Structure formats: structure tokens, C-alpha cells
Amino acid sequence: MGLNFPIYLDHHATTPTDPRVLDAMRPYFTERFGNAASASHVFGWRAEAAVEQARERLAAAIGAHEPREIVFTSGTTESDNLALKGVARAYRTRRDHLITVATEHSAVLESCGALEREGFRVTVLPVGRSGLVDPDDVRRAIGDRTLLVSVMAANSEIGVLQPLAAIGGICRERDVLFHTDAAQAVGKVPVDVEASGVDLLSMCAHKLYGPPGVGALYIRRRRPRIRLEPLFHGGGHEWGHRSGTLPLALIVGFAEAVDLCLHDLEAEAARLRALRDELWTRLQAGLDDLRLNGDPEQRLPGNLNVAFPGAEADAVIASLRDVALSSGSACSSARPEPSHVLRAIGLSEALARASLRFGLGRGNTREEIEWVADQVIAQVREQREKRAGGRPGGGRRRSDG
């Protein structure tokens, strides 16, 4: 298939909108436009019908009981904020304790920090070197005043898949609500809110080849029915959960993107897994002293996060102008401090700064992977030799993390 530059390997940050999604959206910007809240004419009726059809498709994609459990938002960050702050404030007179994990997205961790400043108590659980949280740690952290547990389904940096079903079962036993940020999971691995015991789930379109600017929050309506205090007021849209005119075309594109991902989910997962394993094999063959960050098995098919001791990840990225890579999570890559996720799994500051995230996705080819592997190997060797004073093979040292 050849090489097409630049090569995009940052699919955890965002994904290109699939042309088929764009085709589905295009009419809703022009001849099929309308406000779904306009109940007095055909433009509003058609818009409402399109929104409800999209809601049905998204509900089916995650195993929700009914379409009304899907509430549209601007993206996962808003969904996370609405889930945590909305639930905490709605139940504050009954319970005031939340539990989350050290490797969560900043939208969850900073929401918890904001709630702490309002008087709530938050427990942040550690993870092991694999990046996985121990369900027994969740069980031990739950107390009589615990309201909510929030655990990310798939980590945006190291790609690990958390044991949602085990955690969900514990939450059900203890009558505690369970939220998951599933932005990186939906459309890439099977997601079922019933099977995993999830009560609230955050997701978005731009991580799965849909348009940016639209997301959703699943809110369970039965056994139990979840109450939320809204973040926005004015209009009472989405059954009072989220006021604001719905972005019709984006919602249509969101549903189309999810359907396309689910249609090819198994085949695409197998293809990406093979490419990822080829990349890892080539890196190991060309370089000594590498560290795979995150569990080798319980991870997203298209994720590879590797520490290259003796190298600076940002320098490697700067030298590869034809490749899009990340040295940390997409939302924190502009910050100078090392990744909180990599530090949480035990990496030193030096190893965290030496780590690269490869995010493979739709459209990546074997030829691209082979070329990128060769370029990364060459750049890491060059950096190691410079650090070792120019001696050939310099920088080949062991690191315990």
C-alpha cells in the first residue's frame, strides 16, 4: 500500500472523521437542518426524529436498557464533570465519599478535586506496575458514606483495560454507584453497561472517527434510577440534565461513527493488534533495554506505550517531523511535568520523559509501522550514543524503572 506522509500514530488524542460519517452528516447542515426542540413545524419534527434515532443507536451500542438513558453533551470532559459533580451534589445530604484511581483522566481527577473543595471526601486508589487497579482495593475503600466509584474503562496513555465487571459487581453489592470514562473503549472493544454493572458512562465521537464537539453520558434510569444536578441551566433540554440546543449534524455523525466501528470491531481489533505486535517486535529487535508501559494483555489493540531509557521522548518526536506521536496523554501533553499516569505505575521522572505513546488506528499500514520503527530505533540509538560520549552501542544499560 506504500507510505503516505505524514504518518498519524496519535489516535488516542483524536481520530480523523470517517468520510462515510461526513456523508451522513452533510444533509443536516443544509436541507435537513432544524432544532429538535422546535415542536411546531416539520423542521423540528425531522430534527427530533434524527436525534432519537441516533440515541437509539448509541444506547444499543453500549447495551443500555432504553434510549432515554443517553444524554448528549459536548464531549467526554463535560460528561465526566456532569457524572461526578451532578451525582455528588444531588446526593450530598446522604453520602459524601467518592473513590477513583490515580491513572484517571484529568477531567475525573480535577472534578474530584473541585468536589473536595466543596466538602466531599475523595479516595484516590493506586495501581500496580501493570496499570490495573485491584478490585479488592475498591472493596476495602468503600464505606458507609461512599456514593460513587469512578474507574476509566481504557486508559488513554497506556491503553490498559480495567476490570469493570469485577468492580461493578462490588459496587452493586455495596449499593454504590459506578461511573466509567469509556471514551477510549467504545467502538474499540466490547462495552456493555449491564454486564459490567455500570451506572454512568462517558463517551465521545472524536475518539472513534466521528466529529469533535459531541459526546454523551449514559445515565441509568432503572435499578437504580440515577438523579443528577445539572451543570447548565436554561431550556431544560435532555430531560433537564443538560440544557442547550442539540448539535443535530454532530449527533447524527456520532451515531454513524459508532455503528461503523461496531460493524468492523473484531476484524479491526485483530488487524491493529497484529500491527502493534509487529511494532513492538521490531523495536525489541533493534534496541536493548526497553520497557513496555502497561499490562501486555489487558490493553487496547492499537495501543503501545514504551519507555526508551537513555533517550528523551520529546527529542525523538521533534526529530520525526513526518510522524505524529505523543509523549504523554493528549490533554496534558503541553504541560512540562511528566505524565501522572506513568508516574503512578512506578516510572521514575527520567523514564516517564523517555516514554512514547503509539496510537494505531484505521488507515495505518504495515509499511508505515515498519518505517516508523526504523526511524525511532535510529533516533534512540543516536541519543544514547551522544549521552555515552559517542561510543558505539553507548547507553545500553539496564533500568529497573
Same-domain status, 67 and 204: yes
Instruction: Read off φ and ψ for residue 115, nearest 5 degrees.
Output: -70, -35
Instruction: Read off φ and ψ for residue 393, nearest 5 degrees.
Output: 80, 5
The answer to whether residue 60 is domain-embedded is yes
Half-sphere exposure of 182 (CA within 13 A, CB side): 28
- Expressed as residue numbers, the domain containing 145 is 19-262
Write down the residue that cell numbers 446526593 correspond to.
Answer: 91
> Is 331 one of the catalytic residues?
yes
CATH number of the domain bearing residue 338 = 3.90.1150.10
Q: How far apart are the C-alpha atoms of 384 and 254, rounded to whole Å?
A: 44
Same-domain status, 152 and 285: no
Residue 186 three-state SS: coil
Give the total number of structural domains in the chain: 2
Same-domain status, 244 and 99: yes
Burial 361-393 (b: 16+ CB within 10 A, else e): bbebeeebbebbbebbbebbbebbbeeeeeeee
As given in the structure block, the three cell numbers for residue 230 are: 445539572
Domain stop point among 216, 245, 262: 262
CATH number of the domain bearing residue 240 = 3.40.640.10
The answer to whether residue 140 is domain-embedded is yes
Q: In whole angstroms, how far apart are CA 166 and each of 143, 197, 302?
A: 18, 9, 24
Each residue's pLDDT, cut to its tens digit, for the chain (401 residues) gives: 568 899 999 999 999 999 999 999 999 999 999 999 999 999 999 999 999 999 999 999 999 999 999 999 999 999 999 999 999 999 999 999 999 999 999 999 999 999 999 999 999 999 999 999 999 999 999 999 999 999 999 999 999 999 999 999 999 999 999 999 999 999 999 999 999 999 999 999 999 999 999 999 999 999 899 999 999 999 899 999 999 999 999 999 999 999 999 999 999 999 999 999 999 999 999 999 999 999 999 999 999 999 999 999 999 999 999 999 999 534 444 556 899 999 999 999 999 999 999 999 999 999 999 999 999 999 999 999 999 886 554 444 333 33
Q: Among residues 112, 171, 261, 331, which one is catalytic?
A: 331
As given in the structure block, the three cell numbers for residue 141 are: 475503600
Q: Are strands 97-101 and 121-125 parallel, antiparallel or unpaired?
A: parallel
Cβ atoms of 338 and 352 closer than 8 Å: yes
